[in-house]
Amino acid sequence: MALREIVLYGNPALRIKARTVDEIDDDLRQLVQDMVETMDAAEGIGLAAPQVAESLALCVVNNGLIDEDAEPQAYINPEIIHADGEIEVEEGCLSIPDVREDVRRPETIKVRYLDIDGKQQEEECGGMLARVLQHEIDHLNGVLFVDRISSIKRQLLQKRLKLIATGG
Ligand SMILES: [Zn+2]
């Protein structure tokens, strides 16, 4: 196992649409393990492969923070196939340190994905898990949560974002 470097706002890896995973092999399983370890070390609740500069449609979620009996879980090629409601919740991102903003998103979703054994799964969820998965799936499309806030709020963040992008 190894910790991976989390790339920050301004890194082009965060803006690329991730490639579909077409084989779950040892390399991919290793990447998932590394991502879980990296997420835990950073005390994150979710991490998408583009955040460790891997262009693959894959994210991990620290389900243990949502339900203490649950293990971290990988979502491979996840897609939202149904969404309902709307709710505003504060979000942050390991790639955008010290920035938190309210983001409006659907409240409940249904996600289709492959699990680590390559089995297709469908999961309906709400609450924290729905929020984290939508944030991570955005990453797989090169979208960041600060893209989803009002332009006025984003304007107010410009200085902070620029500092992150330049390593400040
Ligand atoms: Zn994020």
- What CATH number corresponds to the domain at position 49? 3.90.45.10
Distance 132 CA to ligand 1 centre (A): 9
Residue 70 belongs to some domain of the structure: yes
pLDDT of residue 168: 65
Indicate which residue of 54, 91, 101, 136 is catalytic. 136
Beta strands 108-114; 96-105: pairing state: unpaired
Domain that holds residue 21: 12-165
Average pLDDT, integer, range 64-72: 81
Residue 41 belongs to some domain of the structure: yes
pLDDT of residue 1: 64
pLDDT of residue 64: 80
Residue 104 belongs to some domain of the structure: yes
Distance 26 CA to ligand 1 centre (A): 25
Query: How far are the Cα atoms of 7, 29, 78, 133 from residue 105, in angstroms, in the given order?
Result: 25, 31, 17, 11
* pTM summary value: 0.96
pLDDT of residue 159: 94
9 near 165, Cβ under 8 Å?
yes
pLDDT of residue 157: 95
What's the rounded Cα separation, in Å, for the pair 79 and 167? Answer: 33
What's the rounded Cα separation, in Å, for the pair 25 and 16? Answer: 23
Residue 159 belongs to some domain of the structure: yes
- Residues measured by CB to lie within 5 Å of ligand 1, the ion: 93
For the chain, the first-to-last Cα distance in angstroms comes to 29
Residue 151 belongs to some domain of the structure: yes
Query: How far are the Cα atoms of 81, 112, 159, 168 from residue 92, in angstroms, in the given order?
Result: 24, 24, 17, 18
What's the rounded Cα separation, in Å, for the pair 150 and 86? Answer: 16
Residue 88 belongs to some domain of the structure: yes
Distance 135 CA to ligand 1 centre (A): 6
Residue 106 belongs to some domain of the structure: yes
Q: Domain tally for the chain?
A: 1
pLDDT of residue 67: 77
Q: How many CB atoms lie within 10 A of CB 58?
A: 29
Annotated catalytic, 136? yes
Residue 2 belongs to some domain of the structure: no
Distance 119 CA to ligand 1 centre (A): 26
